Every structure is written in structure tokens, then in C-alpha cells.
Structure 1
Amino acid sequence: MSGHIIEIPQTKGKASIWEQRLKVAAYCRISTDHEDQEQSLENQVAFYTNYVKRNPYWKLVSVYADRSSGLHTKNRPGYQQLLKDCRRKKIDLILVKSLSRFGRDAQETIRTIRRLKAMGIGVYVELGGLNTLTTPDSIIDMYAAFDQAESQERSDNIKFGIRQRMRSGKVLLNHSQFLGYTKGTDGVLRVVPEEAEIVRKIFALYLQGNGVRKIKRYLEEHGIKTVSGKSEWSTSTIDRMLSNEKYIGQILMQKTYTSDFLTGKQIRNQGDLDMYFIEDAHEAIIDKETFEKVQARKKHAAK
């Protein structure tokens, strides 16, 4: 016969922080700019704002948020501001859903938590109910390692899905940063006429004997903007455009790949992985003869 079970509430660690007068912050992060993720970030910010304000003992400092991957902290202004405010002693406690929100690298996360702990600042991790000020370091280390492994698995699954799409001929492009094209409702690239004229001008200038620096100067002097609306052009961008096979309607997928999950560094694929070539994938902006002449001139200039 089973006896009646009575749950005894926890009185140390987790419970103690709810009844202390603390300056509380929260940190949220999403990895993409997709509309559904954007809504998710807004929901997280609203949740933590209300959550902190409901506690009469707590004072809300801010809910810090970033739209960025967990690779590099320098690309996360919200995270940087959070740590800066911690150093200024504006914060006593940080709420976060999981340790992976701090970043992918377990060692970097652990170092950050150690520094915060030395300043008397705790991190309350929702998934696991951990308060880093009262939880043994060995347990924190273990959770950080588990979170990194989970992030690695998600990354590997995403890569697998992308490669399966490549094998089936489905094009994966960031068309918003691709001068000359936009993406139609069917997912196929569509020519943007006014942008296509800029692309043709760049190819024409190169065949007339102008190097990328002269082309850069021409574009800027004539007030021609980049695809992102900037007045200043990058010579490396112009150089890549002149070798981009997509301008003749072809697509070569997986020209680069990420070798290290933690750094996210892109490496040129020199036969390490399969590549996928699609001809006549979309409408061309540059004819093949012009494109081949440009490649021949670039090859000669590189000698």
C-alpha cells in the first residue's frame, strides 16, 4: 500500500532568491530574423518583464535581448550591455532560460558565470532551476557541457537538413543581400531591373580595363548604393560579384562550409564535401560570354 506523498518546498537556493530585495535583469536571445522568431523574442521580453514586476521584492533593471547566434559575444550588444551593467553593480540577479542563451561555448559560459559569481551576481537558469550562487560549480559545469552538446546536435541536424535540400535541388540563398535579384513567391530568384543595371555596369567597367578599386570609385562618385543602401562599396564585394555564377543563371551550392561548430568559421570547399550545381536555375543578368571573358581577365590579372 502506497502512503500519501507530501511535497516539502525547497527552502534553499531557488526559494531564497524570491524573497530577497534584488536588482533583477533577464537575458533573451534568438538566432534568426524570421518573423516567428521575432515574435518569440518579443514574447520572451514581455514574459520576463511581467515576471519580475510581479515579485514585490524585486526591482527590474532591464530585459536585455539580442538577435544573433551564440557564436561571438562581440556581435551581441544586449549581452555586452548586460555584462557592463553587472560590472557597474547595477544587477544582483540575471534570469535566463538556459545556459546556452549565454553562448555555444561551454568554457566561455563557465568563465562568465565564474566572473559574475566573484562579483556576487547570480544567474538563475530556468531549465534546471539552478541558482549559480548556491549550486556547486561542478553541477554548473555539467549543465554547460550538456547545453553545448545539445546546441551541437541541433546544428548538425540543421546542416543535415540543408544538405538534403541541396541534393533535391532546392536553392538556399540569402536574396536580401544579393544585388540584382529578389525571391518570388515560388522561391525562384527574380531579376530586379534597376539593380541588374548596376551589375551589368560593374561587369562592363571591368572588361573596359578598370580594376575593382576604380570600379569602387566610379560607383561611389556616381552615388550608386550597395544592396544594403550604403554609399561606400567594398572592393571584396565587387570582386566576388565578378565571379558569382548566379549572374548567368547558374547555382553552385556548398562552395564553403563551417568546419568548427564553436567558431562558425567558413572554409572554402576544396573537395572536402559534395557540391551541387544547378544550370538554368533562374533568369540570367549577365550572358555567359561576358562572364567567361571576365573570368579569363581575372585569371590573367592574378598571375
Structure 2
Amino acid sequence: MARKSRRANVVQEKKEELQVFASIITQKQLATAAYARLSVEKENDESIQTQIELLHQYIQDHEEYKLVDTYVDDGYTGTDFDRPEFIRLMDDVRTGKIQAIIVKDLSRFGRNFIETGYYIETIFPCLNVRLISINDEFDSSRAEDRNSMVMPIKNMINEMYAKDASKKRVLSFEMHSQRGDMKIAKSIYGYYVDKEKNQLKVNLETAPIVQAIFRWYQMGKGTGDIVKRLKMLDIMTPFAYKATHEIEMEIPETDRWTGDRIKTILLNQSYIGSTVYGKRKAAKYRNMPEHHTDPSEWIIHENTHEAIVAEPDFEEVQERWEKRSDFMKESFRRGRSRWAGVEDSFPQKVKCMECGTTMTYMRYTNFGQSQGVRKGFYYCKEYDGKPGYCRQKVHEDLLKITVMDQIHHMIKVMCDKKEVLEKMKEGTCEKGELVSLRVKIQNMQYRLMKAEETSATLYENFATGLLDEQEYLALKEHYVQEKEKLTEGINQAQVRKRMVEKSIEEFLEVEKNLEQYLDDRSFNQKLIDELVDKIFVSSKGMIEVRMKCSDVFQKVMEIME
């Protein structure tokens, strides 16, 4: 009897061990996102890295969560949900990649009372997504948390705090601006910052360049001519100089001297020793975005540092600039009146394939005909520092024909693919990635069901003596790993399936809007504006049209392969 009792005890212990183990492995882990945010106001001394470490540790300590990705908005206010990483997070939520979101506290998620409440009470329940706030001990999956009065009050306090912090920041800036003791954050071309004295000092390398720009303009040279001279002399741009001598930054290939940069230098009062505050303003607590202010609102402190340009020379340049601006405005007005009805069909869209510059639109009149036909062409006026220009030209009519041909070809291809995609979406098509994913998911679900059935009989076989302990433990481990592998594979395939379905829906939506133009071969400005992103023109006669919906088109082509 004693032997039988010990046998019964061993069996009972094994059974309890298996039940505990099974409960752990069958518990589904939620695909979890860690979201961290730190605003521009720097509410406290906490770093963004501290937040991330806290979130990762919380997920690691809770087995029901599996970290999929970390989303970080550093330097973004919580009153606005238009944050790049938050937008990426919500895209992943909608595709099913993310099932739970962990934040340090609700203020990290957002400080807008209405929008935060809308996400918690409406959006996340509809998407079956949990929002967990660590410090607030809040879990949106719990009805008592969602219905509690505490959360709305906290959200209101968070919003009020954000507005109060923004208001204090604005008032502090205005106070320091009035006193003229604002800390100088960055240098100006022609100067460097003496951090100990908090003062601009003349940069002996770049100050002569600034003086030369002023002299050339006084001599009657326009901004275009000044740009040519600077390029010919191989003078680094203000950004390139700063990136090379002050801060380590990569200089983009598109960085070059432009007329706007010359204008910025010619109109900058810093070069006569004055410091100007308030050229731009922003106040989040008033829902006021950053904007340029009227010169009458500027706060000017004179003689705050050594001048590079004499004040009489600076005033002469301002008078010349104002006269030139008035002349250009009047010329533009007359030109608009004369060329009424002749508009640029591809504004800011035509690029030179050789140098990357936006090509300039030029109008002309064909006087060979009795009435004169008014048309246009595009040319590249980029000067590369060597004799001559890029001299790239293309006629407007050629671009119209080429672009419309490309658009109609794309519409035709999309219409041809419509029937196949609809069948693929309905499940009646026998090929394509969506079909493969469905079959893959069904196969893995069947294998998972069989693995669960087999693993459920292991203990019974062990208890009846069909399996010894070593065989039982080995098979148990095998099926545990098999079920984990299959569960992970099913989750990944389902996420990919939702992404594919979303791509097909986007494609069909675009096709539905464009199908009406299939048989219309005429030029359509509306289609140009909606579909064309960029047009690249080569000196060898090649024209490349880049569509705005090319990514949607490419995704569907890959799905159908």
C-alpha cells in the first residue's frame, strides 16, 4: 500500500506541475509598444532615456506583454497629437501590429483633455487595444478605470499644466527679451558665440564674406550675381561652415548659396551691432503656432556687439532692397496681367536630373502666328561654379503629353488589376500573397490544434505507463516549443495579412477615383495636381515621372507576384 501511495503522490505532483506549466505557456502575450515623450518645455529633470528604461523594465516584469517596438517623441508638446512617432504608433495599432501601449503616465500620452479621453474611451476599445499608465495604475481594459472620474480630472490637470508651462516660458522669453539678457543659443554667419560673456564676437574668417556681400549689392549686383561670385570663389555656405567648424553635422548635397540666403544676410540688423528679439513667436497655451511677426513687434537692442557693417552702408542697402522689391512687385503684377490664362501646369514639380534643382518656368509668345500663341518652357539656371550653366530645357507641351501618357498608362494598369484584386480580397483567387497568407494561417492553426491535442494526452500516456519520465519530459518540451513557434507564426502572418488587405483597399480606393478618366485622353490639371509628385528631366532627353501613389501601386504589384 505504501508503494501505491508514493506512486499516487508522484502522479499528483506531475499533474500539478503540468497544469501550472500549461497555464503559463497558453497565456497569450500581447504585442506591446513602449511610448515615451518629453516636451520642449522640459517639465522636469527626467531624461527621455529614463522613461524608456522604466517602460522596458515594466514590460520585462510582466509576462503578458511582449515588447514589439519603442516609440519616442523627444521635444514634442503633449497638447498636440501631430507627433511623428505617435502617428507611426497609431498606424501600427490600426494594422494590428500593436495590441497594448505602455506609458509612464497619462501626461506622456497626451495633455489634451478631449483628445486623450477620445482615444481612451472610443478608439482603443474599438481596436481592442489596451493603454496602460504605470504611475497612474491605469489599464483601459478595466471598466472601472475607464468609467472612473479620476482619469478625466487628471487629463484636465495635465492639459492645464501644459498651458501654464507654455505661458511661463513665453512670459520668461518676453521678459529676457525686454532686458536684452537672453542667452545666445547659436551663432550668426560672420560671428561666433563667446559663451562665457554670452556675446557675439566677430569671426575673422566669415566676417569679410559678409562685408563683401554688402559691397557687391551696393555696387548694383543682384542676389543672383552675388550667388555666382560666391560659388566661383568656392565660399562655404553658412550651414556648411557651421557644420564644419562649430557642430558636427552632415552637409546635404542640396546645400548651396541661394538668393534667399543673400537676402537674409542683407536684411539682418545683427551686422550693425544690434540684437533683435521676437522675429518669430509661438504660444501653445493660446493655440498659437510658430509664425513670423511684423517688424513693428520686434524688440531691438542696439550696440550689443561689434558691428561688421557700417550703419550708413546698411541703411543704403535697405533703401536699395526696398526699391528693388517695389519694382519686382510691380513687374510681377504687370506680368500676371499680361499672361493671364497662361499658368504653370507643374509648379515646383519639374526637377533637373543632373543637379537636382527645381527648373524655372518661362513664358514666351510665338509671334510667327497672327495672334501670337503664348506658351511656356522649363529651364535649369543652376550655376555650378564653372563657365556656363546647366542649360537644361524642356518644352511645356512635351511634358504635358508625356505626363498624361504616364497617368493614363497607370490608370489602365490599375483597372486591369482591379478584378484580380477584388477576387483576391473575396478569397476566390488562386494566386497572390493574400491567398498564400490565408493558406499559411489555416495550416498553422491546424498544426497548432493537433499539437495541443497531442500535448494534452502526454500526461495520460505517462500516467498509464506508455511513456517513461524521460520520454514524457522530452515530448512535453518539444510540443511546448512547437506551440510557441506556431503561435508566433500565426500572429506574424495575421499582421502581414491585415497590412496586405489594407494595401489592397487603398489601391482599390485610388482605382475607383481614377476609373472615370480611363477613356479621357485630354489634359487634366486636376489629375496632375492629385497624382504627380515630381518630374525629372535629363539633358539626354529622358523624362521620369514620379507619382504620389507610387508606393501604393508598388505594394500591390508585390502582393500580386
Q: Which residue of 2 aligns with 1:164?
A: 175
After superposition, where does 1:263-274 map in structure 2 within 5 Å? 263-269=288-294
Of 32, 42, 53, which residue of structure 2 is paired with 1:46? Answer: 53
Q: Please say if residues 52 and 58 of structure 1, whose CA atoms lie closer than 8 Å, have aligned partners that are also in contact.
A: yes
Quote how far apart the aligned CAs of 1:119 are.
Answer: 1.2
| Alignment-mate amino acid for residue 249 of structure 1 | G
> Aligned pairs, how many?
279
Q: Please say if residues 25 and 60 of structure 1, whose CA atoms lie closer than 8 Å, have aligned partners that are also in contact.
A: yes
Q: Please say if residues 247 and 285 of structure 1, whose CA atoms lie closer than 8 Å, have aligned partners that are also in contact.
A: yes
Quickly say closer, same or farther: Cα 1:263–1:163, change in 2 above 3 A.
closer
- With normalisation by structure 2, the TM-score equals 0.44
Q: Which residue of 1 aligns with 2:355?
A: none
Quote how far apart the aligned CAs of 1:143 are.
Answer: 3.5
1:29 equivalent to 2:37? Answer yes
- State the distance in 2 between where 1:73 and 1:194 align: 44
Q: SS of the counterpart of 1:190?
A: strand
Q: Which residue of 1 aligns with 2:95?
A: 88
- State the distance in 1 between where 2:207 and 2:81 align: 36
| Alignment-mate amino acid for residue 246 of structure 1 | S
Higher relative contact order (CA 8 A, sep 6+): 1
Quickly say closer, same or farther: Cα 1:205–1:284, change in 2 above 3 A.
same
- State the distance in 2 between where 1:220 and 1:102 align: 48
Quickly say closer, same or farther: Cα 1:136–1:30, change in 2 above 3 A.
closer
Of 242, 245, 254, which residue of structure 1 is paired with 2:278? Answer: 254
1:224 equivalent to 2:236? Answer yes
| Alignment-mate amino acid for residue 239 of structure 1 | K
1:296 equivalent to 2:319? Answer yes
- With normalisation by structure 1, the TM-score equals 0.76
Greater displacement, 226-235 / 120-129? 226-235
Of 256, 263, 286, which residue of structure 2 is paired with 1:239? Answer: 263
Quickly say closer, same or farther: Cα 1:268–1:214, change in 2 above 3 A.
same
Runs of at least 5 residues in structure 1 that lack an aligned partner in the other structure: 1-18
Quickly say closer, same or farther: Cα 1:193–1:125, change in 2 above 3 A.
farther
Q: Which residue of 1 aligns with 2:127?
A: 119
**Which string of whole-angstrom CA distances, capped at 9 and with x for unpartnered residues, describes residues 225-247 of structure 1?**
33254523454443233211112
- State the distance in 1 between where 2:225 and 2:31 align: 56
Q: Which residue of 1 aligns with 2:191?
A: 181
Q: Please say if residues 173 and 182 of structure 2, whose CA atoms lie closer than 8 Å, have aligned partners that are also in contact.
A: no
Q: Please say if residues 259 and 267 of structure 1, whose CA atoms lie closer than 8 Å, have aligned partners that are also in contact.
A: no
- State the distance in 2 between where 1:51 and 1:223 align: 53
Compare the two structures and name the one with the higher helix fraction. 2
| Alignment-mate amino acid for residue 77 of structure 1 | P
- State the distance in 2 between where 1:158 and 1:138 align: 33
Q: Which residue of 2 aligns with 1:128?
A: 136
- State the distance in 1 between where 2:274 and 2:200 align: 11
Q: Please say if residues 94 and 124 of structure 1, whose CA atoms lie closer than 8 Å, have aligned partners that are also in contact.
A: yes
Q: Which residue of 2 aligns with 1:277?
A: 300
- State the distance in 2 between where 1:109 and 1:219 align: 52
Q: Please say if residues 166 and 283 of structure 2, whose CA atoms lie closer than 8 Å, have aligned partners that are also in contact.
A: no
Runs of at least 5 residues in structure 2 that lack an aligned partner in the other structure: 1-26, 244-250, 327-561
| Alignment-mate amino acid for residue 169 of structure 1 | G
Greater displacement, 253-262 / 86-95? 253-262
**Which string of whole-angstrom CA distances, capped at 9 and with x for unpartnered residues, describes residues 255-286 of structure 1?**
443255334232415656xx543221112222
| Alignment-mate amino acid for residue 130 of structure 1 | F
| Alignment-mate amino acid for residue 139 of structure 2 | N
- State the distance in 2 between where 1:292 and 1:154 align: 40
Quote how far apart the aligned CAs of 1:72 are.
Answer: 5.7
Quickly say closer, same or farther: Cα 1:54–1:239, change in 2 above 3 A.
same
Q: SS of the counterpart of 1:63?
A: strand
Quickly say closer, same or farther: Cα 1:105–1:265, change in 2 above 3 A.
farther
Quote how far apart the aligned CAs of 1:218 are.
Answer: 4.9
Q: Please say if residues 66 and 79 of structure 1, whose CA atoms lie closer than 8 Å, have aligned partners that are also in contact.
A: yes
